[in-house]
Amino acid sequence: MSRKPLLLPALLFALTPLSLAAFEVDYAALRAARPAAEGTAVQSLTLERDAYRFRFESGAFFFLPPFGERTVGAVFVGSGSWELTPAGETERKHLALLLHDPGLSTTSDQFETAVFLFTDSTAEEIRKGGKPAGPDPRAAEVFDRFLKRERKDFQTNFHLRVLEDLADAVEPKSGVFLAFPEGRKLSLVLAAVDPAGIERLGIVPNLGCEETALFLPDPDNGGFWYLSHLKAASTAAARWPPLARALSYTVDSEIEKNVRFKGTTTIRFETPAAVRVIPLHLMPKLRLQEASFAPAAGGEPAWQKAAFVQEKAEEDATAAVILPEASRPGAESLLKLTYSGKEVLFDAGDGNFSVGARESWYPNFGVFGEPANFELTYRVPKDFAIVSVGTPAGERIEGNTKISIWKTEKPIRVAGFNYGKFKKLERTDKDSGFEVKVYTNPGTPDIIQEINMALRSASRGGGIDAPVPSDLSSPFAAPPSYVGPSSVSVDTEQLADSALVDGVNSARVYTAYFGSLPSPRVAITQQSQWNFGQSWPSLIYLPYLAFLDRGTRHTLGLDATKDFVDEVGPHEFAHQWWGHLVGWASYRDQWLSEGFAEFSAALVLENTGGLKRASDFWEKTRRRILESPHGGGAPNFEAGPITLGWRLASRRTPEAYAAMVYSKGAYVLQMLRMTMHNPASPNPDAAFILLMRDFASSYAGKNPSTADFQKVVERHMVPSMNATKNGKMDWFFQQWVDGTEIPRYSSKFDLKDEGGGKFRVAGTVTQDSVSKDFCVIMPLYFDFGKGKVARFGLLPLMGNTSRSFDVEIKPPQKPKGVLINALHDVLARD
């Protein structure tokens, strides 16, 4: 035996993988499983899981009873520790920031108790070398405490993830590993390695495909403290293929007078692999009542009952359906789900309703992920109207019920609707071919009363916090709070016309810069939440604020919200391109939606308000990027790179998500635009427009990553962008998108009239606060006064450096001075 080659067992294992029988799904049994009384004692045991190292000095494991051939959980009682060594510098820095330890290279904690759920080889590793151990009453207590935390703190059904692997007979080498150590420093954490992607755990949607995480369910200071690809991964895709891909949704919804909501959704889908358990996204307050499954072969579907899982609404309500048999890869199937619940819609008073569920008011496999076709039927009290995504495909009255049907012409990522009493205004813009409709509520909603109350209680003083856009799928972004004085009555109806004009302006600018949409139609509706907007495919919710004219806002003491009001409409409109036409691969790429929408809003402001208005926007944006939170904490730009997405928002950097993903994301695009700017061309933005149109058309209906966008930029490089002479834009994306440095500039110029219209310009430009490879192409401008400038040169600067120049030029008119960075060409510190 001992003479056998050492590699043989591993090789054999690779050639003949374990063929595990699928566990006949019994969710109830799995959920009811408790640790055994007798344990397995261990000494100096180490479990290595990617970036984690668990060490068990002494103590015992108490296993859950086996399911089929598999042991899938254990409680540890004894003396143990864990350590996490981040896989990359960005993740190391993020952890260092959260733990107030700038020099951190490894973080660790000690524990006496821990719970483990797994479908990998953990049980075998523990048993090897383990000895029998007697009972320990703490084991049952520890596991019960975990179950409570799963429901109350994590509010995520981790049992489901285990069930998926058991039902599909996933092999240990691809199994999931979840650890819940009750540490001395961090008593409530999840240390997870999931080779199928952390997104599969169901904590937060749209995570992309990172496999290792440290997650804290603390609403105040929690989130994903660590989220990374496996250390061993050489190259990794930005996004996993979905477990199940929806081809179409047929959604039939009934809204009763008392705002109770009932629905039946039929999903036509396919799965790349055979699966039994399919997780669903559905707001927990909508309770699943029935699930059926059928092959989608022509004729009447042969429905079979399917089981489903959905724990209590306020707890770990992650929904999933368990198919009666494994799906056949590549074959189309049907899933029919019925559900009902309250609080999907809120009666906001006087014919105004707000849609409380921002995304999953119908069961789905993940919104924003994969576009699908929709047929939507709404049954509502006959005096009310529905404005939905898609196009109207019939409306009739039956008794007291209005039945309104809408269909999509092209696949969309997410469906939404607004509901209430509306007055409609519409216009088709001849220039852009865009049809814009505006729907306002004729009544006075409760929110006006609430505003008045807030105004009265806040009139004692204090400034007004201008809301920042908070929209779309930002799982951790809460609507901003409101403070202000006074009282008001609102007639929003007459303000619809200005919303229409703004919509048409946005449609023209975006069609010119990004190309036309496959369905150039948008309905702008008023929503009762008054201080944020939201964009659905062809449907925009605008907040009350956006419909208030300047005089009314002044009465309300809301002058400080002027910028928000100017920007929210164009921002939401831009999501028709960035977010809905073109998606994004993972949370790390969300700036391709939010940053691009902010940039787009600036384009509209520039087109309607001129360079001065644009300049104000970029200056305000720059300040937001550089700002530090009130009461200490790190400046926004130091919280981390744009690619940390919403993970940037932490207790130490609460504004960093908005500041980096929205504001810096927008600035990155502005810098690209200004680098490509050609003042000599009839349209100085021509090259940039080609780039943006190429990106929009190449990735229509797809979910690009930042790297995909970089490749499109590289297709459109102008010579000055080729700073590293290799046709690559790595230098730009590494420093601005993946990096956190922001340069500072000083300059000195000497301008001399040489006669004959010629001028001699000599000067020095200094760049500092950056590392040695930080590269910027700084534009030089003549200043002709009254805001008029003309670019006369580009000065490349690398690292902390001073560069001088001395040139003779014949400008079109007599300059008053020389400037750098006149059009917010480069993001810079003060």
Cβ partners under 8 Å of residue 591, min gap 6: 642, 643, 645, 660, 661, 662, 664, 665, 668, 706, 737
* DSSP 8-state assignment for residue 38: S
Q: Which is nearer to Zn ion, 335 or 597 (CB)?
A: 597
Q: How far is the CB of 585 from Zn ion (least distance, A)?
A: 17
What's the gap between Cα 788 and its chain centre? 39
For 148, the token pair is: 């409570």
Q: Which is nearer to Zn ion, 240 or 541 (CB)?
A: 541
Q: How far is the CB of 571 from Zn ion (least distance, A)?
A: 5
Q: How far is the CB of 726 from Zn ion (least distance, A)?
A: 35
Q: How far is the CB of 575 from Zn ion (least distance, A)?
A: 6
Q: How far is the CB of 593 from Zn ion (least distance, A)?
A: 7
Q: Which is nearer to Zn ion, 164 or 594 (CB)?
A: 594
Note whether 591 and 561 are within 8 A (CB).
Answer: no
Q: How far is the CB of 662 from Zn ion (least distance, A)?
A: 7
**What amino acid is encoded at 248 in this protein?**
S
Q: How far is the CB of 315 from Zn ion (least distance, A)?
A: 30
Please name every residue paired with 52 in a beta bridge, in sequence order, or none if there are none: 49, 84
CA–CA distance, 297 with 287 (Å, rounded to integer)? 29
Identify which range of 129-137, 258-266, 595-603, 708-716 contacts Zn ion by CB under 5 A.
Answer: 595-603
Within residues 597-626, the interface with Zn ion by CB under 5 A covers: 597
CA–CA distance, 532 with 468 (Å, rounded to integer)? 8
Q: How far is the CB of 477 from Zn ion (least distance, A)?
A: 10
Q: How far is the CB of 650 from Zn ion (least distance, A)?
A: 21
Q: Which is nearer to Zn ion, 526 or 535 (CB)?
A: 535
Identify which range of 11-19, 165-173, 197-205, 591-599 contacts Zn ion by CB under 5 A.
Answer: 591-599
Q: How far is the CB of 74 from Zn ion (least distance, A)?
A: 44
Q: How far is the CB of 145 from Zn ion (least distance, A)?
A: 40
CA–CA distance, 293 with 476 (Å, rounded to integer)? 34
Q: How far is the CB of 467 from Zn ion (least distance, A)?
A: 13
Q: Which is nearer to Zn ion, 327 or 586 (CB)?
A: 586
Identify which range of 593-601, 665-673, 730-738, 747-755 contacts Zn ion by CB under 5 A.
Answer: 593-601
DSSP string, 574-596: HTTTBTTTB--SSGGGGGGTHHH
Q: Which is nearer to Zn ion, 265 or 663 (CB)?
A: 663
Q: Which is nearer to Zn ion, 126 or 540 (CB)?
A: 540
Q: Which is nearer to Zn ion, 575 or 677 (CB)?
A: 575
Q: Which is nearer to Zn ion, 570 or 641 (CB)?
A: 570
Q: How far is the CB of 148 from Zn ion (least distance, A)?
A: 37
CA nearest neighbour of 592 among 674, 685, 708:
708
For 470, the token pair is: 């908070």
Q: Which is nearer to Zn ion, 169 or 692 (CB)?
A: 692
Q: How far is the CB of 625 from Zn ion (least distance, A)?
A: 17
- Pair type for strands 373-381 and 245-255: parallel
Q: Which is nearer to Zn ion, 213 or 472 (CB)?
A: 472
Identify which range of 277-285, 423-431, 586-594, 778-786 contacts Zn ion by CB under 5 A.
Answer: 586-594
CA–CA distance, 42 with 39 (Å, rounded to integer)? 10
Q: How far is the CB of 259 from Zn ion (least distance, A)?
A: 27
CA–CA distance, 56 with 74 (Å, rounded to integer)? 13
Give the other-Cβ count within 10 Å of 124's Cβ. 10
Sign of CA dihedral 18, 24, 25, 26: negative
Q: Which is nearer to Zn ion, 116 or 578 (CB)?
A: 578
Three-state SS at 375: strand
504: left (phi over 0), alpha (psi -120 to 50) or beta: alpha
CA–CA distance, 157 with 225 (Å, rounded to integer)? 20
For 760, the token pair is: 């001699």
Identify which range of 160-168, 587-595, 641-649, 728-736 contacts Zn ion by CB under 5 A.
Answer: 587-595
Q: Which is nearer to Zn ion, 574 or 778 (CB)?
A: 574
CA–CA distance, 726 with 266 (Å, rounded to integer)? 51
Q: How far is the CB of 668 from Zn ion (least distance, A)?
A: 16
- Pair type for strands 245-255 and 261-270: antiparallel
Q: How far is the CB of 663 from Zn ion (least distance, A)?
A: 12
For 48, the token pair is: 């290595």
CA–CA distance, 593 with 665 (Å, rounded to integer)? 9
Within residues 449-478, the interface with Zn ion by CB under 5 A covers: 471-472
443: left (phi over 0), alpha (psi -120 to 50) or beta: beta
- Pair type for strands 539-543 and 521-527: parallel
CA–CA distance, 613 with 630 (Å, rounded to integer)? 27
Note whether 822 and 780 are within 8 A (CB).
Answer: no
256: left (phi over 0), alpha (psi -120 to 50) or beta: beta
Q: Which is nearer to Zn ion, 123 or 642 (CB)?
A: 642
For 725, the token pair is: 């002479």
Q: What radius of gyration, in Å, describes the C-alpha atoms of the chain?
A: 29
Q: How far is the CB of 94 from Zn ion (least distance, A)?
A: 23
Number of residues that bind Zn ion (CB under 5 A): 4
Closest chain position to Zn ion (CB): 471
* DSSP 8-state assignment for residue 636: G
Q: Which is nearer to Zn ion, 165 or 471 (CB)?
A: 471
* DSSP 8-state assignment for residue 371: -
Residue with tokens 């046709």: 727
Q: Which is nearer to Zn ion, 390 or 579 (CB)?
A: 579
Task: Examine residue 582 and tell whether it contacts Zn ion (CB under 5 A).
Answer: no
Please name every residue paired with 232 in a beta bridge, in sequence order, or none if there are none: none
Q: Which is nearer to Zn ion, 370 or 594 (CB)?
A: 594
Q: Which is nearer to Zn ion, 110 or 470 (CB)?
A: 470
Cβ partners under 8 Å of residue 115, min gap 6: 73, 74, 75, 76, 142, 143, 146, 179, 180
For 396, the token pair is: 């009739």
Listed in order, strand segments (DSSP E) in 713-757 are 744-755
Contact string 175-214 vs Zn ion (x = CB under 5 A): ----------------------------------------
- Burial class of 199 by CB neighbour count within 10 A (0 to 12, 13 to 18, 19+): buried
Show the DSSP H helices in 685-741 as ranges.
686-698, 706-715, 730-736
Interface residues with Zn ion (CB under 5 A) are 471-472, 594, 597
